[in-house]
């Protein structure tokens, strides 16, 4: 490994350490109450050294928000590549991947919902673009299932998508590590709960239309 590549790898590792430490402190103390000295102490470096890796505390908050939303863009890409799956299976896969993402990024997702109003509007704008694209993707899967009659087409698809997100987005408030096998069972349970619940609404629609 060249000296330049080695230095780059160390810098990236340190950057991730700082980002992880920031997420931990922002969640525990709040963004406004966390100082740059707190961050330096948590990472174990001198405060001036911290500025070698970041320019401001807001940069860290932005990086946390961007990281989790760039990852959900990868979820969209992964699902869209599965031409072998129908929309019901894609909806189930989405729920499983969303749960895995929530488990992997529990600390940072908690910071997002806790500090969503702390980022400047200018820096929040690209985050919202990614977030809205993710929400539209899930909405499109639900709408496709409504067209197939698997979900009651009389219901508001937007409300259903928000309901699905509402069930999964707050995992950071109650999730406890269960080990790899336990986490996979949890992902399956959430997928069954979301998809099974939405599909049961087709039956409800039929009941309302019955004479």
Predicted pLDDT at 132: 96
> Residues near 106 by Cβ (< 8 Å), separated by ≥ 6?
171, 172, 175
Question: What are the distances in angstroms from CA 186 to CA 43, 63, 89, 98, 160?
Answer: 32, 28, 17, 11, 21
- Tell me the chain's radius of gyration from C-alpha atoms: 20
pLDDT mean over 91-119: 94
| In the predicted structure, residue 55 carries a pLDDT above the cut 50 | yes
> Residues near 164 by Cβ (< 8 Å), separated by ≥ 6?
95, 138, 142, 194, 198
Predicted pLDDT at 204: 52
Predicted pLDDT at 5: 43
Q: Residue 114's closest CA among 32, 11, 195? A: 32
What is the tens place of the pLDDT at every residue in 164-193? 999 899 999 898 888 888 899 999 999 999
Say how far apart CA 133 and CA 153 lie, in whole Å.
22
Q: Residue 163's closest CA among 185, 195, 133? A: 195
């Amino acid at each position: 490994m060249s000296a330049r590549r080695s230095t780059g790898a160390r810098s990236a590792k340190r950057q991730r350490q700082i980002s992880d430490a920031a997420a931990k402190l922002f969640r525990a103390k709040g963004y406004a109450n966390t100082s740059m000295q707190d961050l330096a102490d948590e990472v174990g470096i001198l405060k001036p050294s911290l500025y070698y890796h970041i320019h401001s505390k807001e940069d860290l908050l932005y990086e946390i928000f961007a990281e989790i939303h760039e990852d959900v863009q990868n979820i969209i890409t992964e699902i869209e590549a599965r031409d072998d799956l129908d929309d019901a299976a894609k909806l189930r896969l989405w729920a499983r991947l969303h749960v895995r993402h929530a488990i992997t990024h529990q600390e940072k997702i908690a910071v997002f919902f806790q500090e969503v109003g702390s980022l400047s509007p200018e820096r929040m704008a690209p985050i919202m673009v990614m977030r809205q694209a993710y929400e539209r993707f899930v909405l499109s899967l639900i709408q496709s299932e409504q067209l197939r009659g698997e979900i009651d087409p009389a219901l508001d698809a937007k409300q259903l998508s928000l309901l699905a997100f509402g069930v999964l987005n707050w995992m950071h408030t109650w999730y406890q590590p269960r080990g790899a096998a336990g986490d996979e069972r949890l992902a399956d349970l959430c997928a069954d709960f979301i998809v099974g619940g939405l599909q049961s609404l087709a039956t409800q629609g039929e009941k309302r239309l019955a004479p």
